Amino acid sequence: MRWTVDCGYNLRSVKPTDVFDPNYFHKVVDCQYACPAHTNVPEYIRMIAQGRYTDAYMLNRETNVFPGILGRTCDRPCEPACRRTRVEEKPVAICRLKRVAADLRDDISERLPQIPTKKNGKRVACIGAGPASLTVANDLMPLGYQVTIFEKLDKAGGLMRSNIPHFRLPERVLDEEVDAILQMGVDIRYNKPVASMKALLDEGYDAVFVGTGAPRGKQLELPGRHETDSIHIGIDWLESVAFGHITKIEPRVLIIGVGNTARDCCRTSKRLGATDVKVIARRPRKYFKASPWELEDAEEEQVEILINHSPKRFVVENGKLIGMELDRLEWREEGGKQLSTIIDTVTIPCDAVILAIGQENSFPWIERDIGIEFDKKEMPLVDKKTFQCTRPGVFFGGDAAWGPENIIWAVAHGHEAAISIHNHCQGLPVTERPQQGMTLVSQKMGLHEWSYSNNYDEAARAKMRHVDLVERFKKLEIEVELGFDPEATAREVQRCLNCDVQTKFTDSLCIECDACIDICPLLCLTMTPNAEEPELRKQLTVPAENLKQELFVSGPLKQTKRVMIKDEDMCVHCSLCAERCPTGAWDMQKFELYLPHAGQASWTTSK
């Protein structure tokens, strides 16, 4: 008889999910999990909804350090991960909402960490003043460290300063957030490129952090490359523009490459006098490295993108660049590989070319006999968890560690490296990381009332407003994106599904009445005899085919020994399961991740 079958644990069944392992519920908060710095997105979105912009800003700052900058420039890995993309089409405009908090916040100086006047006697040197080093300083200064930053240029910010154009990131925003860190008392030495690591190490710092980025733009050695001075390296050219050394460009410009840099080069060209800007891509669109919105931005400014063209030769006459010869390619797929054949060769006339085909690391200033080992590609050997290289006390982070990434990764590296530096200086092993933790708090306010907005909002993703196409080209500094207006903000915050408000199940309370299963709009729930996971996934009310999303599996239920299973994939956190549960076996509980940074204690509360 089916009800008396013993379906308790055996070898063929899944163990009950340990929801007190912070990883389980963290993974349900798709955006926070995807964010390299694990910013608590749903919480700050709710704060914005309540008009608590400063709180929202400070919550962001805890993890991502540069909310105003990132609210404009972040690569936003959170958005493709957003649950909303699975439930409907478009993610919550997480990044744009971050900017709202940054734009509307009050003065935060009172809320920044206090810097002890009595120092702890430890001196840390950071090389390069990009986001990675700045994050290290941000984490270590409040602990009493003396941090010295050596910077090659005469301003701080790294590529955020020298390469990201002002029409995307106003200098005022950059200054404010960089200064907030420098004003903690960082000893910053401008115009001080470190030319010898050995010499620096001899100065007796307790730890050294290398945050020098990937400063070398890739070359394209083709005939004609060195016969003219109208061919520029993208990142160097952008730097010259940023520092006012270059103020105009010729009318017809070809940009080689389709990444971040290419996008900024063509948009900058348009503002410096170019009238005809073309981007040259070897591959079809779906293989582009840039995020779709980056190209959209360029195309909106009437930049033409030529796909399937491969550079062959710079055409130079009497020392003057007059065009570029390109092979037209056709692509086909064979055994998972893309292969190309040349159809013909074309010449495209132009007056200038900008090479934006990538950046490389370069460490000529690090001696190879001081215990810092490099691999065959001339990259330092850096531990993925501790960010320490082969010489104890020397750490790498940001683009310098494993090649070009983006700001939020540099920040994430900075936090981790700061933990290692702190351990190193306190005589603890760098491998000893502080434990993550979590809290879960019921959000129940009444029989059918919750402390969050559980009603699914069908609103479509809000659109960004832009400065019009004539006005924006008048000055290099005009910020193109205007941010969300109050109406758009009010609508957008309601699109968030509050993925941190978790469905928490207590198996001992369940009477197996099916109410939760019957009500769930997305059919996430099933009660079934336990089995191995692949089998369980097939047995669910709707088979769980998205293997990236976890299954919650309860312990055996009292009456039938079946288990309650929840497929986390499509849950919209509507609370209906909890509202329909007669015994409170389901509850909606807010999950908060405790994510210790340098100097913060391990999670200790017993489960």
Ligand X SMILES: Cc1cc2nc3c(=O)[nH]c(=O)nc-3n(C[C@H](O)[C@H](O)[C@H](O)COP(=O)(O)OP(=O)(O)OC[C@H]3O[C@@H](n4cnc5c(N)ncnc54)[C@H](O)[C@@H]3O)c2cc1C
Binding site for ligand X (CB under 6 A): 73-75, 127-133, 150-153, 158-160, 163-164, 193-194, 211-213, 215, 235, 238, 260-261, 264, 365, 398-400, 404-408, 410
Residue ranges in 183-222 assigned as alpha helix (H): 197-202
Q: Counting Cβ atoms within 10 Å, is residue 392 exposed (0-12), middle (13-18) or buried (19+)?
A: exposed
Cα–Cα distance for residue pair 257/331, rounded to 1 Å: 17
Residue 346, strand partner residues: 326
> Is 542 a binder of another protein (CB under 8 A)?
yes
DSSP 604: -
Closest contact distance (angstroms) between CB of 505 and ligand X is 38
For 140, what's the count of Cα atoms within 13 Å in the CB-facing half-sphere?
Answer: 38
Pairing relationship of beta strands 394-396 and 304-306 according to DSSP bridges: unpaired
Percent of the chain as helix, strand, coil, to the nearest 5: 30, 20, 50
Partner in contact with 582, chosen from ligand SF4, ligand X, another protein, none, beta carbon below 5 to 8 Å by kind: another protein
Closest contact distance (angstroms) between CB of 213 and ligand SF4 is 30
Q: In the window 360-379, what residues touch another protein (CB under 8 A)?
A: none
DSSP 147: E
Cα radius of gyration rounded to whole Å, the chain? 27
Q: What is the DSSP string of 171-215?
A: HHHHHHHHHHHHTTT-EEETT-----HHHHHHT--SEEEE-----
Pairing relationship of beta strands 216-217 and 359-360 according to DSSP bridges: antiparallel
Closest contact distance (angstroms) between CB of 489 and ligand SF4 is 14
Shorter beta-carbon distance to ligand X: residue 404 or 437: 404
> Is 50 a binder of another protein (CB under 8 A)?
no
> Is 508 a binder of another protein (CB under 8 A)?
no
The only residue of 220, 246, 464, 513 in contact with another protein, by rule CB under 8 A:
513
If phi > 0 it is left, if psi is from -120 to 50 it is alpha, else beta; for residue 370 that is alpha
Tokens of 131: 């986001």
Cα–Cα distance for residue pair 76/83, rounded to 1 Å: 14
Residue 276, strand partner residues: 252
Query: With CB under 8 A as the contact rule, which of the stretches 49-57, 324-332, 338-346, 505-513 interacts with another protein?
Result: 505-513
Is the separation of the CB atoms in 261 and 234 below 8 Å? yes
Q: CA separation (Å) from 435 to 22, 83, 409, 432?
A: 10, 27, 21, 9
Helices 292-300 and 260-271 sit at what angle, rounded to 10 degrees?
10
Q: CA separation (Å) from 225 to 60, 86, 120, 220, 246?
A: 45, 48, 54, 8, 20
If phi > 0 it is left, if psi is from -120 to 50 it is alpha, else beta; for residue 403 that is left
Partner in contact with 31, chosen from ligand SF4, another protein, ligand X, none, beta carbon below 5 to 8 Å by kind: ligand SF4
Is the separation of the CB atoms in 13 and 532 below 8 Å? yes
Shorter beta-carbon distance to ligand SF4: residue 430 or 585: 585
Shorter beta-carbon distance to another protein: residue 402 or 456: 456
Contact set with ligand SF4 (CB under 6 A): 29-31, 41-42, 82-84, 92, 94, 496-499, 503, 519-522, 524-525, 566, 571-577
The only residue of 193, 559, 601, 602 in contact with another protein, by rule CB under 8 A:
559
Closest contact distance (angstroms) between CB of 555 and ligand SF4 is 18
The only residue of 14, 16, 62, 87 in contact with another protein, by rule CB under 8 A:
87
Partner in contact with 193, chosen from ligand SF4, another protein, ligand X, none, beta carbon below 5 to 8 Å by kind: ligand X
Partner in contact with 82, chosen from another protein, ligand SF4, ligand X, none, beta carbon below 5 to 8 Å by kind: ligand SF4
Which sign, positive or negative, has the C-alpha torsion 70, 71, 77, 78? positive
Shorter beta-carbon distance to ligand X: residue 311 or 404: 404
Shorter beta-carbon distance to another protein: residue 341 or 559: 559
Residue ranges in 513-586 assigned as alpha helix (H): 515-519, 533-539, 576-580
Partner in contact with 514, chosen from another protein, ligand X, ligand SF4, none, beta carbon below 5 to 8 Å by kind: another protein
Closest contact distance (angstroms) between CB of 85 and another protein is 12
> Is 1 a binder of another protein (CB under 8 A)?
yes
The only residue of 172, 273, 543, 602 in contact with another protein, by rule CB under 8 A:
543
The only residue of 24, 374, 402, 456 in contact with another protein, by rule CB under 8 A:
456
Closest contact distance (angstroms) between CB of 326 and ligand SF4 is 42
Shorter beta-carbon distance to another protein: residue 315 or 540: 540
Q: Which residues bind another protein (CB under 8 A)?
A: 1-3, 87-88, 448-449, 454-456, 511-515, 517-519, 521-523, 542-543, 545, 559-560, 570, 572, 574, 576, 579-583
